[in-house]
Structure 1
Amino acid sequence: MSLECFIFILITFLMTGVQCEVTEVFAEAGSTAVLPCKYSPTSNVSPGVIWSKADKGTVWRMEKSGLQMWGVSWSQKGIQRVRCPHTQFERGVYSLQIHGVTEEDGGVYSCRVKQGGPVEETVVMLRIITVSISPSVPLSGRDVSLTCQVTPGFDGSAAVQWMLNDSRFSRETRVTSPGDTFKSIVKEKASARLTGNWTCVVGYRGKEGRASATLTVTGIIQPPSDDTKVYAAVGCAVTLPCVFSSGLFPSSPLWEKLQPGSLNKQAPSRSAPSFSPSSPSSQLPWDKSISLKEVDLKDAGKYRCSGTIQGQRLAQNIQLVVAKIDSSVPSKKKGSVMLTCKVSDTSEVTEYEWVRVTYDLNGTEAFGSIHKGKTPSISLLSEESWGTWACRFSGKDGILGNITHHVPMMSGLSGPKSSSFSQNTTAVVGLSVLLVALLLILAQMYKNHRRKQGIFQYPAMETIIHTVANERDEREKHRVKVLP
C-alpha cells in the first residue's frame, strides 16, 4: 500500500466524531466496481454525501439540496464513469459505481455522509485484478507467461489459485510484489492442452476476487492432441487430419510413417503411396490432411505430420487403428459361424457389442438385439441371423468405431418352419412335372400337324398311293375266290 493511502486512512481514524472501517472490494479490469456506502437516516431531510479518492480528491458529491457534482477526472468524452443510483437514496444506500475500471482506479476511497449529527464514514479499498498473457497468441512449443496482477498490493499474505477451464491448475507459480502491485506468474511451454479460459482467484481478509483471460495457441489444431487415435474399418475410407491454425502457411509439409514401438524413429519410406491429399481441389493452404479410399491392415500404425512455421518445426503424431471381422465355422457346432472383431490396437477398447442391422423399403436402418462380447456364435439355420451384423467397439468416452459383416442366407431352416418349406417344395415340383408333360403333348400335336401339312402339298403322289393300295386289295380278294 502506498504511503499516501496509508496517511489517508490514518487521518480518517483520528478525525473526531468519525467511525471508520476499511472494506475490501475486488474488481476485474474493464468491469464495473461497486463501492458500498450505507447510511441509516435519522430524518426525512436529504443528507450531504461526498465520495473521494486518496490521490484524486472528490469523485462524486451530493449537496443536501439534492444537487450532484462530479470530479473533473472522472469523465470520458463527456460521459461520467461514476454514478450513485438515486433510486436507492430513500433506503440510505449511496454505493458508488465505477464503470470500466482500470489499474489507476485501484486505491482507497472514502464515503462521508452528514445529516446534522456526527459524520458517518466508510473507507473502501478497491483492488483491481488483471490477467495478461505474453505473447498474446503464442506459437506451440514456445514460452508463454500468464500474469495475475493486483493493484494495489497487499500488506499481508494473499491466497492465489489459478484455474484452467474451471479445473484447478496445480503447477507451481511465482509470486512477486514489485512496488505497489502484487503478481502471480505462470510460465509454460505453449501447447494445445493450455488453450482455454484461465482464471486467477485471489483471496484476502475473507474477500475474494477473480479475473480471466483466454489463451489461444497457434500451430497444429487438428488432431487436438499428440498421439490421437483414428479408427477405420478394412475396406473403408479414412482421413488422417493435420490442420494448422487459420492463416498459418507451413513450409516443407511432410507425412512420415513411424517404425513400430517408436515415436522418434522414422520408417525408411515416407507416407504410404496409397495416401493422397484430402480434397486437393478445395483444400485450404493450412490443411495438410491426407486420405485413403480403402484401408488395409498394413496401413495400421503411427504417422507424423510436420511443417515449419516462423522458423520452428511443428509436428503431431497420429495413430491409425484398423478393425476387421474374421469368420470361422466351428467343427463341433454345425450350422453356425463364429465372428471375431479384431482391432489392431485395443489399448482404449473396453467393450464389444454385436447388433444385427436391417433395412425397410425406404432404406431406414433398424437395430436388433445386442450381443456382448468379442466373438459371438451366429446360427446359420435361423432366418433371424441372416443379413448384416455390426461390431461396435467402445472406450471409456463412448463408441470408438464399428465394422460390418454380411451373413449369407442358407438353403434350410430349423424349427417349425421346415415342414411348410417342404410342402411348398413338393407343390412346386408337381407343377413343374405337369408343365413339362403339357409341353411334350403340345410338341407331339404340332409335329403331327406339320406331317399332315407336308402330305397335302403333293396330291398326285397321294393318288398313286391310293391306286396301288386298291389294286393290292383286289388281288387279295381274287386270290381268296380261286382257292378250293
Structure 2
Amino acid sequence: MIRFDGIFWRFKHPRSDNFPIRSTVWRQERSGLQFWGSRWLQKGQQRVRCPRCQLPGGDCGLRISDVREEDGGRYACKFQSGGQMITRWLVLRVIKVSFYPVAPVAGVHVSINCSVSPRPQGATVEWRLNNGSFAPSSGGSPPTPRWSLQEKASVRLAGEWMCVVASGGAQGRASAPLTVRGIVHPSRDATKVYAAVGSGATLPCIFSRGSTPAKPTWQKLQAGSLWSPASFSSSPPASQPAWDHSARLKETALEDEGTYRCGGVVEGRSLSRKVQLVVATIERSVTRKKTLTLTCQLTDTSEVTRYRWVRVTHDASGERRAESVQEGKSLRVSDVSRGDAGEWACRFFGARGLLGNITQGIGPPLDHASGSAGVSPSTAVALGVSALLLLLLLLLARMYKNHQRRKRIFQYTTLESILHARSKERKARDPSRAIKGT
C-alpha cells in the first residue's frame, strides 16, 4: 500500500501538445487542505471532486459533473510519496451529438453531427435512430461511416439520435433528441382511416407541439377544389390545442370515401399530408331457404388481410360480450330465430392489427328483420290471390250499384211521359180552359 504525502490532478487540452500542462484541476495535501482550478469552480460550486479520496489508501479517482466538450483531453494524476513523484496519464474523450438547425421545419436540410474531443486515430462511427441502425440517404453502397450527415428534415428523422464511436477495442456513445416541426400525425402520406357507415370519423392532422400553422385547410382530392360536405367540420373546438387541426365527420356516408389533404404554413413553408378515408358497410341478402347472408364490404381492401365475424351479446348485468363465430368476408346464418337475433360485428385486420369494425343488428323474426325480402313464396302467392279476390268483389259491388241506379232512372222517366200525355188530352178536349190556364 502506498502512503501519499500529496496528490493533484492536472489537465492538458488536446490542442496544446506543444505546451506544458499548467491547468490544475484539483489538489489535496496531506493535511487535508483542498484546492480547485479556477475553471472548475463556478459560483462557488465545484465541478470536480474525489468522493472516495483516501490518501493513506491510495484511492483518488476524479469525478467530473456537467461534462462539457472542452473537458476532453489528457489528465495527469500526480502523487508524492516519500519524496518520489509518480505520474499516471488518462485520456477523457467527450462525444457530442448536435443538430443545425436545432429544431428544423420539415422540408429543410438539417446537419446531424458527431464530434469527439479529442478524436482518436482510426476511429469508426455508427449512427442509430430510435435504437435502430440508420443508413444515410446519400451514402454509398455499402454506406461509408460519416461524422456529419446532411438529411432533408422529415417526421421519420424525429427521435433519439445516437453516435457510437469505436477505437482500439473501446467504444463510447452519446445521444440527443431531434425535434422536427411539421405534421407529426399522420406521420406519412396516404394513411388510411377506417369508418363504418353511419358512424363518426376523425381525419387526423396534428402539427408538432407548439407549432401554430397559418392558413390551415382541408381539401378532398376529387375535383381539385375546396370541398366541405354538410357533416364535415375542420374547425377545432375551443378546448383543442392550436396545433391540432383534425377534421371530423359527424355521420359517415359511402360518398364520403376518398383521399383528403390537410395543409398549413409553418415559418413560411407550406406543409401538407394526405389521408384516405375507407368506408365499411354490411350487405344483407336472404335466400328462399331463409338463409341470411351478411357480407362485409369496404371501399378499399388493399390493407385488409383477414375478416372475423363476432357475435355481440349482453349478460344479465348489461355487460357486452363478444364471441368469435367464424373467419371470412361473408357470414351465413341459417334458420334465423329469436336465439340468433342481436348484434353481429365484422372485424377486419391488416399487417398492423385491427383496422376497424362494423356492427349489424338482426331482429326477430327474419321477415321483420329483412323486410319484403324475407316473405316466403307460398305466403306471397296467398297474399296475391287474396288481393285479387278482394278486387273482384269490389268490382261486382260497383256494377250492381250502377245497375240499380239505372233502373230507378228508367221508372221516373216512364211516369213523366204518362203525365205529359194526359195533359195533352185535356188541352184537346177543352181549348178554352187551356187558354185560361195559359
User: What is the TM-score when the length of structure 2 is the normalising length?
Assistant: 0.74
Q: Is 1:169 aligned to residue 134 of structure 2? A: yes
Q: Does residue 357 in structure 1 map to residue 357 in structure 2? A: no
| Deviation per residue, 1:104-149 (Å, 9 max, x gap) | 2111111123433865432111111111111111111111111111
- Aligned partner of residue 156 in structure 2, secondary structure: helix
Structure 1 contact 173–185 (Cα < 8 Å) conserved:
no
Q: Which residue of structure 1 aligns with residue 10 of structure 2?
A: 52
| Aligned equivalent of 1:287, options 236, 244, 248 | 244
Instruction: Pick from 174, 182, 200 the counterpart of residue 219 of structure 1.
Output: 182
Q: Report what 2:340 is aligned to.
A: 385
The answer on whether the counterparts of 1:49 and 1:61 sit within 8 Å (CA) in structure 2 is yes
**CA–CA separation in structure 2 for the residues paired with 1:318 and 1:149:** 40
Q: Distance in 1 between matches of 2:28 and 2:237?
A: 70
2:186 and 2:212 mapped to 1: Cα distance? 17
In structure 2, runs of 5+ residues without a counterpart are 13-20, 140-144, 368-438
Deviations 1:202-236 (A, max 9, x none): 11222221111111111222323222111100111
Contact 2:4 2:80 in 1 (8 A): no
1:248-274 CA-to-partner distances (Å, cap 9, x unmatched) read 333332222124xxxxxx635634454
Shift of 1:304: 0.6
Aligned to 1:243: 206
More displaced, 80-89 or 381-390? 80-89
Tell me, yes or no, if the aligned pair for 1:46 and 1:64 is still in contact at 8 Å. Answer: yes
Pick closer, same or farther for the CA change 1:411–1:382 going to 2, 3 Å. closer
Matches within 5 A, 1:72-83: 72-83=38-49
What is the aligned residue count?
354
Contact 1:336 1:379 in 2 (8 A): yes
Provide closer, same or farther for how the CA distance between residues 290 and 234 of structure 1 changes in structure 2, counting only shifts above 3 A: same
Q: Is the 8 A contact 2:194 2:280 kept in 1?
A: yes
Question: Which residue of structure 1 aligns with residue 302 of structure 2?
Answer: 347
Alpha-carbon distance in 1 for matches of 2:236, 2:35: 67
Percent identity at matched positions?
47
Structure-to-structure mapping, 1:21-32, within 5 angstroms:
none
The aligned amino acid for 1:327 is R
2:27 is the alignment partner of 1:61? yes
**Counterpart position of 2:216:** 253
Residue in structure 2 matched with residue 97 of structure 1 by the alignment: 63
- Are 1:111 and 2:77 an aligned pair? yes
Q: Determine the structure 1 residue equivalent to 2:410.
A: none
Corresponding residue SS for 2:147: strand
The SS at the match of 1:51 is: strand
Say if 2:274 is the partner of 1:310: no
Q: Which runs of 4+ in 1 moved over 6 A?
A: none
AA of the residue aligned to 2:178: L
Q: Is there any run of 5+ residues in structure 1 with no aligned partner, and where?
A: 1-40, 175-181, 260-265, 413-484
Please give the TM-score of this superposition, normalised by the length of structure 1. 0.67
Q: CA deviation at 1:373?
A: 1.2
Report if the CA contact (8 A) 2:11-2:75 is conserved. Answer: yes
Superimposed CA distance per residue, residues 159-183 of structure 1 (whole angstroms, 9 cap, x where no aligned partner): 1111111111111689xxxxxxx98
Shift of 1:279: 5.0
Measured on the aligned residues, the alpha-carbon RMSD in Å equals: 2.6
* Alignment correspondent of 2:356: 401
1:208 aligns with 2:171: yes
Tell me, what secondary structure is at the counterpart of 2:224? strand
**Structure 1 pair 278/251, CA: closer, same or farther in 2 (3 Å)?**
closer
| Helix, strand or coil at the partner of 1:157 | coil
